[in-house]
Amino acid sequence: MKVSAICIGRPEKVPGKTYKTGLNKVPVSGAVMVDETGLLGDSVLNRKHHGGRDQAVYGLGTIDLSAWEDELGMPLPPGTFGENLVIEGADSRSVRVGDRFETADVLLEVTATRTPCATLAARMGDPYFARRFNAVARPGFYCRVLRQGLLQTGEAVTFQPFAGPSVTMPELLQLRPGRLREEERGRYLSLPIGERLRALIGG
């Protein structure tokens, strides 16, 4: 695996909306500093649902982007879905909570999955895109930063699978916290999940 693209966004107005977003991200060249809050220079405007230490970096795999290109029938440049990081050879359908991605400087731990929102639907020009996003089930993965440092396009990435219970990104995408049985709740709370999801589950 290697870093295929690093993307950051600037505040831009959402088409058809009155608010701005940092969703529209574009690839950058050169090294980018990553700390506990994310990529230096990246804009996160809706902090109720995005950003924070447990959602500091949003990643996708090249396998995901390729599959989405086939689904939508058009080329998709890195950053289309608001991802900060594209990892060559990664597939978010098989990425699990607790998995880690490591470069020479940076260590990331997967904490949650992306859920579709109205801003993403507006970006894709499809008011029903959330349904399509859920059906395709290639949602990407949020990570916390366990070790900060410089991230560089083209550098090698080491994948470290989580040794605990297996919960994939598609499973999280379909999760309905209010419908969990007690034993299921305990299983999820035993994972290094993000605090937003932990609060919804009741931990």
Residue 196 in tokens: 């937003």
Residue 49 pLDDT class (50, 70, 90 cuts): low
- The amino acid present at 181, given as its one-letter code, is R
- The answer, yes or no, to whether residue 161 has pLDDT greater than 60, is yes
Domains in the chain: ranges and CATH: 2-173 (2.40.33.20)
Helix axes of 129-136 and 62-72: crossing angle, nearest 10 degrees: 130
Neighbours of 103 (CB within 10 A): 22
Of 116 and 49, the structure prediction assigns the larger pLDDT to 116
| pLDDT at site 20 | 74
Residue 203 pLDDT class (50, 70, 90 cuts): low
| pLDDT at site 31 | 93
Q: How far apart are CA 188 and CA 137, in angstroms?
A: 19
Residue 142 pLDDT class (50, 70, 90 cuts): very high
State pLDDT tens for residues 180-194: 888 888 888 889 998
Smallest CA-to-CA distance from 199 within 178, 170, 174, 173 is with 178
The model carries a pTM of 0.90
Q: What is the mean pLDDT of the chain?
A: 90
| pLDDT at site 69 | 95
Ramachandran class of 185: left when φ > 0, alpha when ψ lies in -120 to 50, beta otherwise = alpha
Max distance between CA atoms of the chain, in angstroms, equals: 47
Is residue 155 within 8 A of residue 90, CB to CB? The reply is no
| pLDDT at site 47 | 62
- The answer, yes or no, to whether residue 76 has pLDDT greater than 60, is yes
State pLDDT tens for residues 85-131: 999 999 999 999 999 999 999 999 999 999 888 888 888 888 899 99
- Say whether 109 sits in a helix, a strand or coil: strand
| pLDDT at site 106 | 98
